[in-house]
Amino acid sequence: MLYLFGLALTTGFVVTFAAIAGSVSQARAITSALEATARQPEAGGRLFTLMILGLAFIESLTIYALVISFVLWGKLPAAEEVLKVLGAG
C-alpha cells in the first residue's frame, strides 16, 4: 500500500514541480536575455534566437514531466481494487 501512496503523490507533484521549475527557469532566461540586449543592442537578434531555443528546451522538459505523470497515473489501480485489498469493499 505504501507503494501506491507514493505513486499517487508522485503523479500529482511531478507536473507541479516541473511547472514551477520551468517557469522560474524561463523567467531567469528572459531576464538575462533582456539585460544582455540592454548592454549590447546590436547582439539582440542573435540573443533572441538563442533565447527562443533555450525556452523551447525548458518547455520540452515540462512536457516530458507531464508524459511521465500520465504513465505513472496509468500504473495506479482502480479504487475498487484498492478497497478489496484493504478489506473495505
Q: Which of 64, 71, 82 is nearest to 11 (CA)?
A: 71
- Residue 73 has what pLDDT? 85
Q: Which grid coordinates are listed for 89?
A: 469493499
65 contacts 14 by C-beta, under 8 angstroms: yes
| Domain regions of the chain by residue span | 1-10+45-89
Provide the whole-model pTM.
0.72
Q: How many beta carbons lie within 10 A of that of residue 32, not counting itself? A: 13
Residue range 33-84, pLDDT digits in tens: 999 999 999 998 999 999 999 999 999 999 999 898 888 888 888 878 877 8
What's the rounded Cα separation, in Å, for the pair 27 and 82? 42
User: What pLDDT is attached to residue 30?
Assistant: 94
